[in-house]
Amino acid sequence: MAAGGAYAALPGGIAFAANAATGRALPVPTAAQRRWADMELGMFFHFDIPVFKPNWNWRSFKDFPDPKLYNPAKLDTDQWMEAAKAYGAKYVVLVAKHCSGFLQWQSDLYPYGLKQASWRNGKGDLVKDFVESARRYGLLPGLYASVSGNGFLGVDNLGRVFVKGCWLGDPSPESKKRYAKICERMTEELWSRYGELFEIWFDGGTLAPSKGGPDLLPIIEKCQPNALLFQGPPEAKNLIRWVGNERGVAPYPCWATGSDGTAADGTKEMRFSGNPDGDRWIPGECDVPLGRNRWFCYNKGPNWTMDYLMNMYDRSVGRNCNLLLNAAPQPDGLILESEMKIYAEFGRRIKERYANRLAAAEGEGDYLELVIPKDSGPVNQVILAERIEQGERIRKFDLVALVGTEWKKLYSGTCVGHKHIVRFEKVAASRLRLSVAASAAKPLICDFSAYCN
């Protein structure tokens, strides 16, 4: 292996690349985490019983929408996949059970779900439709199923705040145990019935069994050992984390490594930018609705402008994270045509921006130069990428350009990781140089490319 030494595997699925020169161990991603990072773009789908009762708040723990209201007459999960493909997503995540508690598959866990709905005479299975459509369109399916909140069962922020206790207001220890068992059965149903899942979203994390939470790790290992886990059990492998906001923007730097996790998930660390000295690989995912606070279709808010969306891409994918952009089908089960056009335009803009590659190089060491062909025009953006299979090595770097006979500094940065996008004012450069000032081991660059648009 080049420059990184041999891999060493530790318990819990954590692996390290040992550097022979310094003796320092760097966390490295699992194969599943590397594959996830290469996807870069995903699409979220929020659809739930509250879309049929606008302005209802699940935290009221009362006036639950009648399940018979659930009747999306035009629902077409293939149309949803068309939105994802147009935007450029490689994976998709469905909200199978949000905090309302409504079960969007055939389940007898409790009487609040599709078995009690009008849709398809109580025989519908949205999860099945979604997963089949995703595979038909060549997309990798994932599922969201929160265990930290369930309005129908009176649970909010399991383990931290019991607003109404558990199981319809009963706060007894027996009720809490019963809720944990329901969560275990729920996740086993979802993870065992629909084939391999690419990503599993917990949202709000998972409370450890020792604290009264559901024992989910054995179910994950049995049913979905390769799935990426957003805010999953801290002992699991293939973890990914939240970046601290729902604007689709990562902080910078945003390291793919951390110590204990970065969310309200029963772990200790709350460091949204990650930790370059952390001992595990736990990269960030940026989740965002199309409009402000607009996860479900009844939440009103202005749509982001196309310029904002493009900046969002640069500050998520371009900051070492994946971007998970939401779609919110209407009560009839379809995404609005106006929003379909936004997804298509966003995807087109991304392709257009990075279509005009002027030059590219890869290499090892502290310096790497890029020769810009004559008559190619000015440069205004650069993509940098490390070989993350051997860890994040760069800690500080400069990007400089040869303009005429003088070298001009364009940018100074820290984290590179899977991808870092640098944008700057157009400059007529004949050469670009990446100069690494600090690193944890020999820098391994798999992409140093220049663009103009």
Closest Cα to residue 108, out of 194, 158, 182? 182
Query: Are residue 302 and residue 418 in the same domain, yes or no?
Result: no
Query: Are residue 166 and residue 235 in the same domain, yes or no?
Result: yes
Query: Are residue 202 and residue 333 in the same domain, yes or no?
Result: yes
Asked if 342 and 332 count as a contact pair (C-beta separation under 8 A), the reply is: no
Is residue 146, in this structure, part of any structural domain at all? yes
Domain tally for the chain? Answer: 2
Domain containing residue 411: 356-451
Residue 207: predicted pLDDT = 83
Instruction: Tell me if the bond preceding 253 is cis, omega within 30° of 0.
Output: yes
Cα 80 to Cα 302: distance, rounded to the nearest angstrom: 21
CATH code at position 202: 3.20.20.80
Query: Are residue 392 and residue 311 in the same domain, yes or no?
Result: no
With 0-12 CB in 10 A as exposed, 13-18 as middle and 19+ as buried, what is 23? exposed
Is residue 148, in this structure, part of any structural domain at all? yes
Structure tokens belonging to residue 341: 């056009």
What are the b/e assignments for 225-238, b being 16+ CB within 10 Å?
Answer: eebbbbbbbbebbb
* CA-to-CA dists, residue 146 to 41, 261, 332, angstroms: 22, 18, 24
* Residue ranges of E strands in 108-260: 140-145, 199-201, 228-230, 239-242, 257-258
Give the tens place of pLDDT for each residue, 29-60: 999 999 999 999 999 999 999 999 988 988 88
Query: Are residue 241 and residue 260 in the same domain, yes or no?
Result: yes
Query: Are residue 188 and residue 251 in the same domain, yes or no?
Result: yes
Cα 59 to Cα 43: distance, rounded to the nearest angstrom: 26
Query: Are residue 231 and residue 90 in the same domain, yes or no?
Result: yes
* Residue-by-residue DSSP string for 315-359: TTTTBT-EEEEEE---TTS---HHHHHHHHHHHHHHHHHTS-EEE
Is residue 19, in this structure, part of any structural domain at all? no
Final residue before a domain boundary, out of 337, 353, 369:
353
Is residue 31, in this structure, part of any structural domain at all? no
Query: Are residue 246 and residue 292 in the same domain, yes or no?
Result: yes
Is residue 284, in this structure, part of any structural domain at all? yes
Query: Are residue 320 and residue 363 in the same domain, yes or no?
Result: no
Query: Are residue 297 and residue 428 in the same domain, yes or no?
Result: no
Cα 54 to Cα 209: distance, rounded to the nearest angstrom: 35
Is residue 12, in this structure, part of any structural domain at all? no
Query: Are residue 180 and residue 67 in the same domain, yes or no?
Result: yes
Final residue before a domain boundary, out of 335, 353, 371:
353
Residue 118: predicted pLDDT = 97
Is residue 7, in this structure, part of any structural domain at all? no
Give the tens place of pLDDT for each residue, 345-393: 999 999 999 998 999 999 999 999 999 999 888 999 999 999 999 999 9
Is residue 21, in this structure, part of any structural domain at all? no
Q: Which residues of the chain have pLDDT under 50?
A: 1-22, 161-165, 262-269
Give the tens place of pLDDT for each residue, 65-93: 999 999 999 999 999 999 999 999 999 99
Q: 3-class SS at 175?
A: helix
Final residue before a domain boundary, out of 323, 353, 383:
353
Query: Are residue 216 and residue 325 in the same domain, yes or no?
Result: yes
